[in-house]
Amino acid sequence: MITDAVPTGTTFVAASVNVIAPLAITTNTVFEQFTPAVYTNNNGTTNWSAGWSEISDDNSPTAGTVLIIADRLRIDQAGLNDGI
């Protein structure tokens, strides 16, 4: 219970006080190991909001200029608009 004296000359108004306390601090990580070679892995403590998607490439995680090879994301000399 929290109490606080009302200073002289003031009037307490019911339901006029809010107490805000910090929530417990948690640490979340998003992490991608690229094993297997797909864009939808979730290896952290929190999931990605969606799978990765390629931009202006072939949409294959194992081919093209943006690809996963040997458990690593590899971006070769891509076209001007290629990306992930």
**What's the domain count of the chain?**
1
In a domain, 2, yes or no: no
SS3 for the chain, per residue?
CCCCCCCCCCCCCCCCCCCCCCCCCCCCCCCCCCCCCCCCCCCCCCCCCCCCCCECCCCCCCCCCEEEECCEEEECCCCCCCEC
Write out the residue range of the structural domain in which residue 72 sits. 25-84
Average pLDDT over residues 48-69: 89
In a domain, 15, yes or no: no
pTM of the predicted model as reported, rounded to 2 decimal places: 0.57
- Among residues 36, 18, 22, 20, the alpha carbon closest in space to that of 72 is found at 36
In a domain, 8, yes or no: no
Question: pLDDT for 27-44, tens place per residue?
Answer: 889 888 899 999 999 999
In a domain, 17, yes or no: no
In a domain, 83, yes or no: yes
Query: What is the reported pLDDT for 1?
Result: 61
